[in-house]
Amino acid sequence: MTIAKNHRKLGIIAAATIFILDQITKYAVIYPLALQSRQTIEILPFFNLTFVRNYGVSMGFLRADTEMMRWALVGLTLAIAVFVAVWMWREKARDDVLGLGMVLGGALGNIVDRVRFGYVIDFADLHIGNWRPFLVFNIADAAITIGVLILLARALLLRDKGEKVEKRNA
């Protein structure tokens, strides 16, 4: 089996794992815990479960207040997910495939919410006292953020190393 095929498996496993964990945690928030909008359960002094209906994308941008906007947002995020999937399939660097798999799994989790409910379910509320450095988020959002950070770090930090290797091989 080629290295690229192994990397693809890693990306698919990462995407599937993120998607499943995201959907399980959202199910738990809605059904067994039966949280209502803005209701909070304190888990730790710095972490609450707070049910939030997110009608927009990151930080509430592009709010989908109408059915047309909802489906336009589904279409836009689905197009981005397809782009990420194709990129992941063609990518040869294992760490990049892992980052892309995380982004893909998170995107699919949020797309399913928007199709099912018309909004994305957010619930993770990290805070220090009354200071909240993050908006309320979910597993999918965290995976997308971490996946993008992996891609950015590799692009910015390894670019110079790649150029040095190319010069040495020339």
Instruction: Name the burial class of residue 80, with classes exposed (0-12), middle (13-18) and buried (19+) by CB atoms within 10 angstroms of its CB.
Output: middle
95 classed as catalytic = no
Half-sphere exposure of 95 (CA within 13 A, CB side): 10
Which one from 96, 113, 122, 125 is the annotated catalytic residue?
122
Buried b or exposed e, range 81-114, using 16+ CB within 10 angstroms:
beebbebbeebeeeebbbbbbbbbbbbbbbbbbb
Which residues belong to the active site? 122, 141
